[in-house]
Amino acid sequence: MKVLVAVKRVIDYNVKVRVKPDHSGVDLANVKMAMNPFCEIAVEEAVRLKEKGVATEIVVVTIGPKAAQEQIRTALALGCDRGIHIATDEEVQSLEAAKLLKAVVEKEEPKLVFLGKQSIDSDNNQTGQMLAALTGMGQGTFASEVAVEGDKVQVTREIDGGLMTVSLGLPAVVTTDLRLNEPRYASLPNIMKAKKKPLEAISPADLGVDIAAHLTTLKVEAPAERKGGIKVASVEELVDKLKNEAKVI
């Protein structure tokens, strides 16, 4: 069974994000980039399926500038077999990303597609659902457990009221949540081996997809700084401030 995993290049989650002086976006100059944490979980789950003998080949795909090949090589070092880089320096929004991934799905014909449930930069949580709709595949989102049984996959989803288990016929799209697994670290030998694994670079035009943006970012602002707390002398004063200033009671 072939598994396709989509990954995204984002600012490392340990980095403090800075907004550009003109508020046109986030400053990426000299900023450490990494694979989106939810995408790491997706890669790990695919690798585990291969270790169980369920998956026979894992193809990793990403969309972005040439530097995004670094994240493909990371996924290859973690156990993926080959990579596809859809090269573009343009900002790719959720729907356009889903259309590009649909073209890759039609080309590769995987039985299972893994994506992180959302990226930590835009936080849209849209691409997986859009891809499922475009391809007509069943979808299991927010997965905390995945079990492949024959031509079906059982996905345990994290929802507001608890857990929901759905059974999907293959091929299917699964988006991964935090509690699905704990990603491994790439070993040095595997990092070296990853350099020799095949990586195909294509363009959106090669896939016949127009990535022209339909949304425009008007302004980006950093969150307001939190104000310092105050001390109160008595319970009465606390209640008064909660009632008359905070207006929470």
Of 191, 158, 152, the C-alpha closest to 54 is: 152
What is the spatial distance between Cα 237 and Cα 221, in angstroms, rounded to a whole number?
A: 35
Domain that holds residue 107: 2-244
Does 249 map to a domain? no
How many structural domains is the chain composed of? 1
Of 31, 42, 21, 83, the C-alpha closest to 183 is: 42
Residues in the chain: 249
Alpha helices in 165-208 (DSSP H): 188-194
Does 18 map to a domain? yes
The CATH number linked to 232 is 3.40.50.620
pTM: 0.88
Q: Which pLDDT tens digit goes with each residue over 162-189?
A: 999 999 999 999 999 999 999 999 999 9
Evaluate if residue 228 carries a pLDDT over 90.
no
pLDDT for 45: 98
What does each C-alpha distance from 59 to 6, 83, 193, 222 come to in angstroms? 9, 6, 16, 37
What does each C-alpha distance from 13 to 57, 124, 220 come to in angstroms? 29, 16, 19
Evaluate if residue 85 carries a pLDDT over 90.
yes
C-beta contacts of 129-134 below 8 A and 24+ residues apart:
129/175, 130/94, 130/95, 130/97, 130/98, 131/98, 131/101, 131/102, 131/105, 131/173, 132/172, 132/173, 133/98, 134/98, 134/99, 134/102
Does 174 map to a domain? yes
**Percent of the chain scoring above 70 in pLDDT:** 100
Evaluate if residue 47 carries a pLDDT over 90.
yes
Q: Which pLDDT tens digit goes with each residue over 63-83?
A: 999 999 999 999 999 999 999
